[in-house]
Structure 1
């Protein structure tokens, strides 16, 4: 049997030439079928074992030399694969005509440190300023800065589906264990969304009002007690306590009791710590499968949540105990879908994480912006005095919504400046591709392209919000058609959009309005001399939700004591 062949005038061993061919073939296969780590690991070591056995049995080599030879050939396969992938992504890829950083065109691995440091939204914003409205932010990923694209990729009639990011946040658990948020299949998501919708109907929201009142009153009482003692408090921590205690109670009938204890619950601490890894794992989805085999504190949280939910089921139905979880136990009448236990646990985790994090972040940032803009704070107090009266609790949800336009302007302007989900969420184009309008030009996005719209970048683009897009001006939300140069409401997207948008948006507004109105009417919130507003702002990190890495130490003064 011939062991060498002539290749371009060089005598090359057959198995070396075959390794190069296998590497090129592997690129073709992997381009069509994306294998995950367990599958790659199995294929790789099975191939090594088979060829090692061949060298020992058929060619009489020793086991040691056969292993060395096989591993050497496997490195040639891998090197050929990497060279082929690099050449394809730079020269022949369907997205090659779109501008972007060279590193992003090659791999998503180059942004791992960016994601770990919570800087993705800032990084993407910088690339848009450099390359324009369409930027290639990954080998098959585009970021598009145009409000019309939000509905094109996320609207009810959009042919796009959720991108691979959602596979990553699922954590590689497999089977029917997805949360509503990580469910990619459109029919499955629609069935689950109908079940969830019942838990956020007007009737259901009405039933949650007493719990929102109770937690808001508890927040005021706990802070009042500490104000009388002259304590210095990290006010954003108390917003976090409020958000989780309320979402635990409204979501699945369990309070974390952080308001009463004044310290973060260990299970919430696990969630907060794990959040830092979500962006990394989700942008490299196959890592989620590997993470499942590593020590993972989230498993402890899941054990605790299983126990809590079992107790919740024992406590009764939604007639006995109105919360969102009670509605999730129902069946979708249209499709017959009924949640598995694993899906219920994932949904409860979603409520704790997405529900509490976003609302507590917005509430904390509202207090921050008001502390930096006393004129805005005074206008807000004047409005609340007019609607409710001086010294009277702001306790009517309808009045807060319909009669307090400046309150709503303060909240919306805070979310415009500091969106709770700063990077936006991704979608994937169908096999037929997608036509979109970008600044009036027709653009064809190739098939199976991951697309996202950069929320933070849009919110501060002068083409959508002018004048002073980087200034905090709640007035832009009042009579904007008369007073603003630019006000593009379609560019305002803090809660995502369409059928997969945030289902708890109305509930979030309810709790933020009530808590913020009563906080500003009850207290003068004064940051300490050591507090640095710029450092606080620079410390806002994008780790799926916006995390406040710098604390906001304040003293509180009860206004009625003046």
Structure 2
């Protein structure tokens, strides 16, 4: 008798692993769906796109696209003062609510998102620090340096950097007739801000204007790193992982040949030099920080932050204000006329600039239409017990993107009128006293507020007060390509390239 194999039993044995795998996949899929549904359900009452409620992928895509600020503005216009932008993320464009969240007495805390601002794996700077009490103590030590107390007049260092920049323009970039020597304002404003930081903080330039190049590729590497930082801003576990061994080895470190690591090496050497027993005290920001009692580790991280955040934002404020000014001939000529007719020192003093009404209107309008840090999420966590915003109850732990709201608020037609997208400095001069005060409250959020206020606000306005008049009194500036004046991407800071301008010496200017 022929014995046939038992195919039923054989098939049963061989199919068991497959059934187990399918079963596990089904269980994991159910867990994933349940988790996503729970996350969505938690903030189901907050208006916003369904895709954003289910996943962080839309935000991630918009971040890498470089136009996330435009999406935030569109969402605010469509959904109102509170909109859901992620599974656990919301954006509020109500100025009063934002000021309450940021206030000194607020119980909101910085989210782990701020870990991205660390320049050292083991120590926090004032921006990455999330403990309120520790941050308050650190800020007490920092503020004297940022407001110029105990330092040589900030203006002297800024004046030296402006003079070096103007000298470079006169030697290499003046156009006459058919002699065309285009200047990339995007790069040059960054060279200026880095050298000016060196002058103000260390009593010496960092050599960018002298070399007329991106020394150590700091700017180039920053352009590559910042899109990654904002793109993964909703995945903070990755940030924490990057600061742990062995992944921390990919982060910039003092001694690198290029990028932020090279700058950290330079700043570390300057700190070491200044801390030597035989060092001669200087009247600059670094000396003021040392005198305030910062430890060596605290000096390293705070000086590193100055390079990371301070120079980018100042360069952006200058170049964008200039771009809108150059692109608005009536405003350009009106400001030039105000500068020409005023009895100004050479170089202009900060106090003199503050007394020029149209210049102040131009500066405030430039910061409004293009906030220097207009695409940073800057999440704050809803405190224990939750909070109610725009009629919506938000549970504890919800992430409120206080930074994301700024661009949308500064372009809101409800706040600024139908011409909100237009650069029109006159709005600051035509409005009544109360209206100007209300406008100023919104624009001031460019520098955050309350316990989270940026310490560099005073310094930013001083740069704008001095750089813009000095350029306009000496030169006529023209955009080379009006169709596409610059390439701009939002990546926490504004990444700008190819902002080519023609520079001509004004008649009568030496």
TM-score under structure 1 normalisation? 0.78
Match of 2:359 in 1: 407
* Residue in structure 2 matching 1:426, options 371, 379, 383: 379
3-state SS, counterpart of residue 383 of structure 1: helix
Match of 1:8 in 2: none
Cα displacement string for residues 510-555 of structure 1 (whole angstroms, at most 9, x for unaligned residues): 1121111100101011222xx135x347x43221112224x22122
3-state SS, counterpart of residue 129 of structure 2: coil
Superposed displacement of residue 289, structure 1: 4.0
* Residue in structure 1 matching 2:274, options 304, 308, 316: 316
Contact 2:260 2:308 (8 Å CA) reproduced: no
Contact 2:152 2:283 (8 Å CA) reproduced: no
| Higher RCO (C-alpha under 8 Å, 6+ residues apart) | 2
Contact 1:128 1:134 (8 Å CA) reproduced: yes
Q: How has the CA–CA distance of structure 1 residues 73 and 255 changed in structure 2, closer, same or farther, with 3 Å as cutoff? A: farther
Superposed displacement of residue 294, structure 1: 8.2
Match of 1:249 in 2: 199
* Residue in structure 2 matching 1:179, options 122, 125, 135: 125
Q: Distance in 1 between matches of 2:251 and 2:183?
A: 28
Q: Distance in 1 between matches of 2:21 and 2:321?
A: 58
Q: Residue 235 in 1 paired to residue 189 in 2?
A: no
Q: How has the CA–CA distance of structure 1 residues 121 and 310 changed in structure 2, closer, same or farther, with 3 Å as cutoff? A: closer
Q: Distance in 2 between matches of 1:216 and 1:397?
A: 13
Q: How has the CA–CA distance of structure 1 residues 467 and 84 changed in structure 2, closer, same or farther, with 3 Å as cutoff? A: closer
3-state SS, counterpart of residue 203 of structure 1: coil
Alignment gaps of 5+ in structure 1: 1-60, 333-337
3-state SS, counterpart of residue 413 of structure 2: coil
3-state SS, counterpart of residue 271 of structure 1: helix
Q: Distance in 2 between matches of 1:319 and 1:207?
A: 18
**Structure 1 residues 245-254 or 495-504, which shifts more?**
245-254
Match of 1:193 in 2: 139
Q: How has the CA–CA distance of structure 1 residues 295 and 272 changed in structure 2, closer, same or farther, with 3 Å as cutoff? A: farther
Cα displacement string for residues 433-469 of structure 1 (whole angstroms, at most 9, x for unaligned residues): 2244x4xxx5543211111241111111122113521
Match of 2:5 in 1: none
Match of 2:30 in 1: 80
* Residue in structure 1 matching 2:229, options 264, 278, 289: 278
3-state SS, counterpart of residue 190 of structure 1: helix
Q: Distance in 2 between matches of 1:558 and 1:115?
A: 40
* Residue in structure 2 matching 1:449, options 395, 398, 419: 398
Superposed displacement of residue 89, structure 1: 2.2
* Residue in structure 2 matching 1:134, options 67, 74, 82: 82
Contact 1:371 1:527 (8 Å CA) reproduced: yes
* Residue in structure 1 matching 2:159, options 213, 233, 237: 213
Cα displacement string for residues 452-505 of structure 1 (whole angstroms, at most 9, x for unaligned residues): 241111111122113521211111112421797995332212221122121011
3-state SS, counterpart of residue 374 of structure 2: coil
Contact 1:144 1:451 (8 Å CA) reproduced: yes
Q: How does 1:39-438 map to 2 (within 5 A)?
A: 75=25, 78-90=28-40, 92-93=41-42, 95-170=43-118, 174-175=121-122, 177-204=123-150, 207-228=153-174, 230=179, 231-252=181-202, 255-265=205-215, 266-291=217-242, 293=247, 296=250, 298-299=252-253, 300=256, 301=259, 303-316=261-274, 320-330=281-291, 338-339=294-295, 341=297, 343-388=298-343, 393-401=346-354, 403-423=355-375, 425-436=378-389, 438=390
Contact 2:264 2:304 (8 Å CA) reproduced: no
Q: How has the CA–CA distance of structure 1 residues 163 and 297 changed in structure 2, closer, same or farther, with 3 Å as cutoff? A: closer
Cα displacement string for residues 365-388 of structure 1 (whole angstroms, at most 9, x for unaligned residues): 122112111211122122222333
Q: Distance in 2 between matches of 1:560 and 1:79?
A: 73
Q: How has the CA–CA distance of structure 1 residues 76 and 307 changed in structure 2, closer, same or farther, with 3 Å as cutoff? A: same
3-state SS, counterpart of residue 503 of structure 2: strand
Q: How has the CA–CA distance of structure 1 residues 552 and 449 changed in structure 2, closer, same or farther, with 3 Å as cutoff? A: same
Q: Distance in 2 between matches of 1:435 and 1:400?
A: 43
Q: How does 1:453-464 map to 2 (within 5 A)?
A: 453=402, 454-464=405-415
3-state SS, counterpart of residue 348 of structure 2: coil
Contact 1:251 1:351 (8 Å CA) reproduced: no
Contact 2:326 2:479 (8 Å CA) reproduced: yes
Matched length = 477
Contact 1:168 1:286 (8 Å CA) reproduced: no
RMSD (CA atoms):
3.0
Q: How has the CA–CA distance of structure 1 residues 536 and 526 changed in structure 2, closer, same or farther, with 3 Å as cutoff? A: closer
Superposed displacement of residue 161, structure 1: 0.8
Q: How has the CA–CA distance of structure 1 residues 71 and 516 changed in structure 2, closer, same or farther, with 3 Å as cutoff? A: farther
Q: How has the CA–CA distance of structure 1 residues 203 and 169 changed in structure 2, closer, same or farther, with 3 Å as cutoff? A: closer
